[in-house]
């Protein structure tokens, strides 16, 4: 299938390019960016920041405007657009009959737009049928969640199924790549912690509740730390039904059934959950890239003196929490027949 990438010169756009370079189903055939970049060769328009060589085929492509009229040759688009423009542009693409697999926040909480993590709520894709961007249903939008909501919802899902999540108190330690490029100034973060990330905390509760189709209370503190990739989450959780002991909690993970395992999607990790036994694990530097950056890492699982349990969860924020998650969404949609 021929895919376009909107916001192709940004940090998320670059991650899409990197992750798609050898994809068995999807081939990059169009790149869209702002007016400043359009008309230029991609290698000139983008300040490539990935640690692989820019694929030569992509380097030579001419960047287009993010105008659906210039993307008539693609089957669908991935959007790594900034939220300041994503609302309008993604809507225009959907209305023009071009499906949009988006990483932007703009449509996430829309009632008819799937907020999708395939292992958690694959049934959400049915919502597409309610979208009215086009009369024939050819244009629609599917979103993936915020890079904290992804690991949080994944960490909670088996526990929620077993015990029902009641309350979560969360502190995050988020990597600099989450802010894009140039993003965080080095003077702000080298040897430092910044105890606030603008706009981050208010997304976490609503998105996680939509992902789990559940009501629960969440109090979140989002901080930035000097790590490259991999958001760490420290969570203390109260359930509606208290687990008897740690064994029951572990069983919830080991008994969990991956609803998409039979589909053999290329970006699906062979093991969705990695439960670390070593107290000092998981760590962003050691584990964020494992299983192609698509695995959820859990550690320090323990019964808590307050509430019921505490744990650390970690996932690669720009792969599992952004571009890789969007690609997995597209794979599911393709397998389910939504992408033709």
If binding is defined by CB under 8 A, does position 21 make contact with a second copy?
Answer: no
Among 36, 67, 129, 196, binds a second copy (CB under 8 A): 196
Instruction: Give least dist CB 51 to a second copy, A.
Output: 5
Taking CB under 8 A as the rule, does residue 218 contact a second copy?
yes
Residue among 102, 91, 103 nearest 131 (CA):
91
Spatial separation of the C-alpha atoms in residues 223 and 237, rounded to whole Å: 19
What strands lie across the sheet with 309-315, from one edge to the other?
Answer: 217-224, 165-174, 231-239, 309-315, 296-303, 273-275
Q: Is 184 in the site for a second copy (CB under 8 A)?
A: yes
Please write down the HEC assignment for all residues of 262-331. Answer: HHCCCCCCCCCEEECCCCCCCCHHHHCCHHHHCCEEEEEEEECCCCCEEEEEEECCCHHHHHHHHHHHHH
Contact 241, 142 (CB under 8 A): no
Q: What is the spatial distance between Cα 188 and Cα 195, in angstroms, rounded to a whole number?
A: 11
Retrieve residue 291's tokens. 């299983």
Pick the binder of a second copy from 72, 83, 138, 192 (CB under 8 A). 192
Q: Output the smallest distance, CB 289 to a second copy, in A.
A: 6
Site string for a second copy, 231-270 (x = CB under 8 A): -x-x-x----------------------------------
Q: Give the one residue of 177, 208, 268, 329 binding a second copy; rule: CB under 8 A.
A: 177
Decide if residue 219 touches a second copy (CB under 8 A).
yes
**Residue selected from 21, 29, 34, 310 as contacting a second copy according to rule CB under 8 A:** 310
Q: Does the footprint of a second copy cover residue 312 (CB under 8 A)?
A: yes
Determine if 121 is a binding residue for a second copy (CB under 8 A).
Answer: no
Sole binder of a second copy in the list 80, 99, 114, 299 (CB under 8 A)? 299
Residue 327 and residue 22 in contact, taking contact as beta carbons nearer than 8 Å = no
Neighbours of 137 (CB within 10 A): 15
Among 258, 265, 261, smallest CA distance to 339 is for 265
Question: How many whole angstroms from its chain centre is CA 106?
Answer: 14
Name the 3-class secondary structure at 19: helix
Looking at the Cβ atoms of 97 and 226, the one nearer to a second copy is 226
**From 277, 306, 337, 340, residue interacting with a second copy (rule: CB under 8 A):** 306
From candidates 59, 92, 275, 286, binder to a second copy by CB under 8 A = 286
Q: Of how many residues is the chain composed?
A: 340
Residue 66 annotated in active site = no
Active site residue 147: yes
Please report whether residue 56 would count as binding a second copy according to CB under 8 A. Answer: no
Residue 141 CB, nearest approach to a second copy (Å)? 29
Q: Rounded distance, CA 285 to CA 219, Å?
A: 27
Closest among 226, 210, 211 to 178, alpha carbons compared: 226
Interatomic CA distance for residues 231 and 223, integer angstroms:
10
Q: Indicate the residue among 74 and 168 with the shorter CB distance to a second copy.
A: 168
Q: Does 25 bind a second copy (CB under 8 A)?
A: no
Least Cβ distance, residue 180 to a second copy (angstroms): 8
Applying CB under 8 A, the residues found at the interface with a second copy are: 11, 49-53, 167-169, 171, 173, 176-177, 181-196, 198, 205, 217-219, 221, 223, 225-228, 232, 234, 236, 279-287, 289-290, 299-300, 304-307, 310, 312
Residues classed as catalytic: 147, 231
């Amino acid at each position: 299938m021929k895919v376009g990438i909107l916001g192709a010169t940004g940090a998320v756009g670059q991650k899409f390019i990197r992750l798609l370079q050898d994809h068995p189903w999807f081939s990059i055939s169009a790149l869209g960016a702002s007016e400043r970049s359009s008309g230029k060769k991609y290698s000139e328009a983008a300040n490539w920041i990935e640690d692989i060589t820019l694929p030569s085929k992509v380097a030579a492509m001419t960047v287009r405007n993010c105008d659906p009229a210039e993307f008539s040759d693609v089957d669908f688009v991935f959007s790594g657009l900034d939220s300041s423009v994503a609302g309008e542009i993604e809507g225009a693409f959907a209305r023009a009959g071009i499906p949009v697999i988006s990483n932007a926040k703009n449509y996430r909480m829309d009632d008819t737009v799937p907020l999708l993590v395939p292992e958690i709520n694959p049934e959400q894709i049915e919502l597409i049928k309610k979208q009215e961007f086009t009369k024939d249903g050819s244009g629609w939008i599917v979103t993936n969640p915020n890079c904290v909501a992804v690991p949080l919802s994944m960490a909670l899902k088996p526990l929620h199924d077993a015990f029902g999540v009641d309350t979560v108190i969360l502190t995050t330690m988020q990597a600099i790549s989450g802010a894009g490029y140039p993003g965080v100034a080095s003077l702000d973060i080298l040897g430092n912690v910044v105890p606030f990330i603008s706009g981050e905390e208010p997304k976490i509760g609503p998105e996680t509740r939509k992902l789990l189709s559940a009501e629960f209370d969440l109090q979140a503190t989002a901080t930035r730390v000097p790590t490259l990739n991999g958001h760490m989450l420290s969570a203390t959780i109260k359930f509606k039904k208290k687990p008897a002991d740690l064994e029951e909690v572990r069983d919830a993970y080991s008994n969990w059934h991956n609803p998409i395992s039979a589909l053999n999607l290329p970006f699906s990790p062979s093991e969705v959950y990695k439960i670390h036994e070593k107290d000092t694990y998981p760590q962003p530097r050691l584990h964020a890239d494992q299983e192609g950056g698509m695995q959820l890492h859990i550690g320090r699982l323990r019964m808590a003196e307050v509430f019921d349990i505490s744990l650390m969860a970690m996932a690669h924020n720009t792969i599992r929490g952004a571009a890789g998650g969007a690609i997995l969404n597209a794979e599911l949609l393709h397998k389910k027949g939504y992408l033709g």
